[in-house]
Structure 1
């Protein structure tokens, strides 16, 4: 590194120290614009560079004062440049992390430890760089501070991983082995030993006291019952209208789907356990044996639990050749030991489009060691089962959603050790299955979800094969049919210019969508069936989904809003509040409507908010436009102090210094206990030709006396404005 570059880098390091100290001291007063929030989200992307560079620099620092290194100019120059680069990158990473920590969903002691250890490493690295050539910085001192910095890197990384992946991220693979409580079924409790482990494995990493997404914590009973920002997590006895199940069943591409895309998803068994637990009133003290023998929740919970007396099975075959196993592992086929030092292998095959029977034939060299084979969702045919029958020690076979039939199962008769068979989603018939099941002598569990077998058929199989547990999934006794999810809007935006062709859909096939436009609730008989609708003006559509054998969905309201003119220039005269900056003045004409839940990070960016001053927007048009109406779309959430605007003023004209008042209007205030909602208010006036427009929305200055925050200023949140 030449002298000029190093001098610049050293000056940058000094500036970074001052800037980071300033941010840490005035952190609570920071107001971040949207572009800085985006910069903050680069924190996980670049943090690996300073970690590696500082780690290597500290290792080299341990041996710097050895005679052969102290006299080596290349060693010293490389160490100096590496240390300087690493500390500068660490400073940039710290700044990004501080920006990122200002977003909702990050709090608690883990964040504090991560923040201060990260900043501490940066300051320590800076001190090491500046004082590395001092007379007292030698030998033991250099080794001590290097080891301290290495330890700090490890600790900071640990807290960072805990924030991102959950407090138990490192030990999770070991914990998952024991997550299902090893207790006798007669002692097991449904919540403690079945439901709680599901939450811990799939949900708690994002919903704990340190990472409180959606203000929801799932670590204890009180927090689960309290719910989060969007309301109660479930309605005891009614899974069909519980938020927990609604979010789980949303399509993967929906941003409200839980767990989020990229996280480990719930299995079909886990989803059913949650639904059945809620249906049984979400009892936190209920024991598994309190349920009737044939109860679906008891059957699933029993199969989920590990027996307390289970011992690790011993196998009478030798391990497979490691090189052979390594060659057989591909992008679409994984082969892993069942446990440490176990000769047993588990095989998983992926990618339906790449599957051929050859992927099974290639396993000939390890056929004795395969005890578990997962072919879920692969196009497996009956002819492939004869290949599988050669895996003589196979214990578990997963054929869910494959193309096999019950008649083809006769090929599996040689598998004397096969005790678990899953056939969910296959086209097995009762006649063929009942004829072939007796040929599989070792079977203990058969899963038959979504096979089309009637409840009566499964009961017949249970009576005829008492040694086998048949899992048929949710038992619909006709008393509690499931409720449909509400319809969804397919249009990319519900704000339109001149007209719009409304597109409604439902993820379940065969669903009929009925609607009204007069504010009434559509029923299944008189309300029109939705097929196609073109609208040219503001229209509120109330829709419900109906299907035979299901409860109709709850009604959902879609507001399609017209905005004829989009200004050529926009600017805010007064600042927005710290939390709800959105996209500044451009928020009001981007066509993106917000959703209820202003503090949810997924939605907060759509809302612009003010509390301590008016919302004043000035907009200009390159050519005069004739307008007769101005409106805005806002949120009401009275419980959290979000109220409609007190007064809205609209000023217009062709000279920005001589605007006249075109209209002044108010919005209706909510009453105590009103549900959160989204509303639109507008003011009409005689057609006016304008080049400049000023819209002033005044937040409610004094919250009503019936509210717990009476007398305080209300928060005003607006996502769109409309000029027609």
Structure 2
């Protein structure tokens, strides 16, 4: 008996339906072998084909008995073939899904709904195929079963989307964002950390689909961790699994989120790092953190303002046309907050300032709540104009030309709460009258002609007003100096580089060393003139002054690279993700940071090999390569580095070979200069070969995987 392809597919379809029933009954009692797990994981890849085929077939089935198509043999054969193909692929997809659901991390009601709607889809569509040629099958039945199949198809896809992308994936773009919690009420975990997990992690780590047995939808499940252990070590972000996975290269299969999923922003990663560093507390409020705490500052950018901080104004907004007309190159007018009628005005450029710049603002005098005139030649007479800005809250007159006689014009400003008069010629008597202003809360008076005893009197008279007078160096309350400043940020040079070391505070002594030792206040060289750097050195410098604590040491490395190749060719291409700016990355005189995503690094997940070509023969005797060591991110220096050289590609010999031991678990992240020295000789062609560690050690989270090599600059001398 001849078996047709159609007949074989029908028999296979019947057998696969029986196999589905077997898996439904005995699925929990069987163990899926590893090779079959790979088959199950193809479920997401295949499922789109039966969706399209079944949808088209059911649409054709609805119109099957239409007079225009009832007698068309081709129509019926095409519909039958399309339906059989769709059902067969749907059956295979369901079997893949049932096998995939046996793995860890899949559970919950959504999975059950997805499973049973998918199975129902196969059974219903198979039943339709086997009865559709019966004599009693008619138009109403075809339409009813077609609609039922389409509904099953949509429900299966809906629950599958929830498993893959999380709740509300489809409607999320048009769903109104929830009202932001005010910073006064916000809890660090509930309102700052959990939203990050929900947005970037919960689609794979929830109650329905807990990949790696990790659920990040609530605090208790998060603290429990997953099959790889605890998610983090409170107080120690460096060894926390969460941050290790976040910083892995994109190609690494253990990186989180995986490739194709929404990435965490640098701010979100910083928030998680700071939270873990602060012992990952669950019941602490954001406002319980110090005001200048980094986590509080970052968290405040995602939270709503405190109700007490939201300013309510009783005046209407100025017209957009008016604001636009008054804005120019030296006067910037901006809205204080989104939706607010309040305006902030900043006026610049003292060389072209005229009183008219203030008088022209009378059109928006009711809307101005902040005015900055810092450093302008504003006179006392100009304060008459400012006195008409009835809703002014903040006024900056620092380093203006006022002498104080015009301060009386500010007394009618009932809303003024912050006034800055530093660096002006005001005196005790002219300032004293300001203390009668009921809403004044802050008054800046440093570097004025007011004497110290008069400042004391003002502070006694000023009830509820904070008077800022700056720091006075009397030697009795020493504070630490800030670090010296260097005149350059260039760390790589060719022949020489001039260097100046400065400090913003007068009378500071700057000591330095160039041999890597710590500078002291007595024996180390005193900086008194420009230094000329002619070789690779590690500069350390520190500031000292009597009555002050010495500054922290500033360390800066200078690297000499006397030669640059005329061209570079990669023998082995770097990773597509970490190819930087191509060969130019290796000679652009810029050193990369620990951010591997910034395009400043060349990365390999295998052996590296490249060629350097020179038009003329050079007397080289050393090559240094800047490498990264970031152990938890799988980035290690090469196990072995070879440098070959010669006068051409065919005439090369091994100049030197350097070997590195496997780094230890607790070694800190670092930049490593791998220097290879050899006897000086004429060279016009160099080959550099780096061999990566093929297997990370047992103590590493990525044990057994190959290490990465990252390099960003080649120095030739």
Alpha-carbon distance, 1:598 to partner = 2.5
What is the distance in 2 between the residues matched to 1:693 and 1:574? 15
SS in 2 for 1:659: strand
Q: Pairwise mapping of residues 118-267 of structure 1 onto structure 2 (< 5 A)?
A: 209=200
Residue 401 of structure 1 corresponds to 398
Q: Deviations over 1:151-190 (max 9, x none)?
A: xxxxxxxxxxxxxxxx999999x98xx9866xxxxxx57x
Q: Evaluate the alpha carbon distance shift between residue 679 and residue 455 of structure 1 in structure 2; reply closer, same or farther with a 3 A threshold.
A: farther
Say whether residues 1:412 and 2:406 are aligned partners.
no
Q: Deviations over 1:670-717 (max 9, x none)?
A: 443233222212222222222222121222334455544444432222
What is the distance in 2 between the residues matched to 1:171 and 1:331? 38
SS in 2 for 1:654: strand
Residue 691 of structure 2 corresponds to 698
Match for residue 493 of structure 2 among 474, 496, 508: 496
Alpha-carbon distance, 1:481 to partner = 7.0
What is the distance in 2 between the residues matched to 1:446 and 1:169? 45
Match for residue 679 of structure 1 among 666, 672, 675: 672
Residue 448 of structure 1 corresponds to 444
Residue 354 of structure 2 corresponds to 356
Q: Pairwise mapping of residues 24-173 of structure 1 onto structure 2 (< 5 A)?
A: none
Residue 623 of structure 1 corresponds to 616
Q: Deviations over 1:620-652 (max 9, x none)?
A: 222222222222221222232322222221212
What is the distance in 2 between the residues matched to 1:493 and 1:713? 34
Q: Evaluate the alpha carbon distance shift between residue 306 and residue 323 of structure 1 in structure 2; reply closer, same or farther with a 3 A threshold.
A: same
SS in 1 for 2:671: strand
Conserved in 2, the CA contact under 8 Å of 1:395 and 1:419? yes
Conserved in 1, the CA contact under 8 Å of 2:232 and 2:239? no
Conserved in 2, the CA contact under 8 Å of 1:455 and 1:475? no
With 691-700 and 408-417 compared, the bigger mean Cα shift is at 408-417
Match for residue 578 of structure 1 among 573, 576, 579: 576
Conserved in 2, the CA contact under 8 Å of 1:448 and 1:472? yes
What is the distance in 2 between the residues matched to 1:637 and 1:319? 54
Residue 606 of structure 1 corresponds to 600
Match for residue 566 of structure 1 among 564, 567, 572: 564
Say whether residues 1:657 and 2:655 are aligned partners.
no
Match for residue 539 of structure 1 among 527, 537, 540: 537
What is the distance in 1 between the residues matched to 2:680 and 2:619? 6
Q: Evaluate the alpha carbon distance shift between residue 637 and residue 510 of structure 1 in structure 2; reply closer, same or farther with a 3 A threshold.
A: farther
Q: Evaluate the alpha carbon distance shift between residue 434 and residue 284 of structure 1 in structure 2; reply closer, same or farther with a 3 A threshold.
A: farther
Q: Evaluate the alpha carbon distance shift between residue 432 and residue 677 of structure 1 in structure 2; reply closer, same or farther with a 3 A threshold.
A: farther
What is the distance in 2 between the residues matched to 1:673 and 1:633? 21
Match for residue 517 of structure 1 among 493, 514, 517: 514
Q: Evaluate the alpha carbon distance shift between residue 429 and residue 224 of structure 1 in structure 2; reply closer, same or farther with a 3 A threshold.
A: farther
Q: Pairwise mapping of residues 364-443 of structure 1 onto structure 2 (< 5 A)?
A: 364=362, 369=366, 372-388=369-385, 390-391=387-388, 393-405=390-402, 407-415=404-412, 417-423=414-420, 425-427=422-424, 431-432=428-429, 434-438=431-435, 440-443=436-439
SS in 1 for 2:404: helix
Conserved in 2, the CA contact under 8 Å of 1:385 and 1:412? no
Q: Evaluate the alpha carbon distance shift between residue 345 and residue 448 of structure 1 in structure 2; reply closer, same or farther with a 3 A threshold.
A: same
Residue 466 of structure 1 corresponds to 463
Q: Evaluate the alpha carbon distance shift between residue 597 and residue 689 of structure 1 in structure 2; reply closer, same or farther with a 3 A threshold.
A: same
What is the distance in 2 between the residues matched to 1:366 and 1:583? 51
Matched length? 472
Alpha-carbon distance, 1:290 to partner = 12
Say whether residues 1:529 and 2:523 are aligned partners.
no
Q: Deviations over 1:412-458 (max 9, x none)?
A: 255152432320644366724652324x4444322428557899876
Residue 259 of structure 2 corresponds to none
Say whether residues 1:591 and 2:584 are aligned partners.
no
Conserved in 1, the CA contact under 8 Å of 2:384 and 2:409? no
With 574-583 and 506-515 compared, the bigger mean Cα shift is at 506-515
Residue 9 of structure 2 corresponds to none
Alpha-carbon distance, 1:586 to partner = 3.1
Conserved in 2, the CA contact under 8 Å of 1:649 and 1:664? yes
SS in 2 for 1:685: strand
What is the distance in 2 between the residues matched to 1:638 and 1:529? 39
Residue 721 of structure 1 corresponds to 714
What is the distance in 2 between the residues matched to 1:470 and 1:283? 38
What is the distance in 2 between the residues matched to 1:708 and 1:290? 33
Q: Evaluate the alpha carbon distance shift between residue 325 and residue 538 of structure 1 in structure 2; reply closer, same or farther with a 3 A threshold.
A: closer
What is the distance in 2 between the residues matched to 1:518 and 1:469? 49
Q: Evaluate the alpha carbon distance shift between residue 668 and residue 457 of structure 1 in structure 2; reply closer, same or farther with a 3 A threshold.
A: farther
Conserved in 2, the CA contact under 8 Å of 1:361 and 1:387? no
What is the distance in 1 between the residues matched to 2:409 and 2:715? 67
Conserved in 2, the CA contact under 8 Å of 1:357 and 1:384? no
Structure-1-length-normalised TM-score: 0.52
Q: Deviations over 1:568-589 (max 9, x none)?
A: 2221111212332123333322
Q: Structure 2, unaligned stretches of length 5 or more?
A: 1-41, 46-171, 202-218, 223-230, 241-265, 268-276, 291-295
What is the distance in 1 between the residues matched to 2:413 and 2:594? 57
SS in 1 for 2:512: strand
Q: Structure 1, unaligned stretches of length 5 or more?
A: 1-24, 29-166, 182-187, 211-219, 232-257, 260-277, 292-296
Residue 638 of structure 1 corresponds to 631
What is the distance in 1 between the residues matched to 2:616 and 2:339? 78
What is the distance in 2 between the residues matched to 1:588 and 1:324? 53
SS in 2 for 1:697: strand
Alpha-carbon distance, 1:379 to partner = 0.5
Structure-2-length-normalised TM-score: 0.53
Residue 75 of structure 1 corresponds to none
Alpha-carbon distance, 1:358 to partner = 0.9
What is the distance in 2 between the residues matched to 1:170 and 1:385? 51
Q: Evaluate the alpha carbon distance shift between residue 709 and residue 657 of structure 1 in structure 2; reply closer, same or farther with a 3 A threshold.
A: same
Task: Indicate the structure (1 or 2) with the bigger Cα radius of gyration.
Answer: 2
What is the distance in 1 between the residues matched to 2:285 and 2:470? 20
Q: Evaluate the alpha carbon distance shift between residue 466 and residue 332 of structure 1 in structure 2; reply closer, same or farther with a 3 A threshold.
A: same
Conserved in 2, the CA contact under 8 Å of 1:611 and 1:716? yes
Q: Evaluate the alpha carbon distance shift between residue 644 and residue 377 of structure 1 in structure 2; reply closer, same or farther with a 3 A threshold.
A: same
Conserved in 2, the CA contact under 8 Å of 1:538 and 1:560? yes
Conserved in 1, the CA contact under 8 Å of 2:417 and 2:439? yes
SS in 1 for 2:460: helix
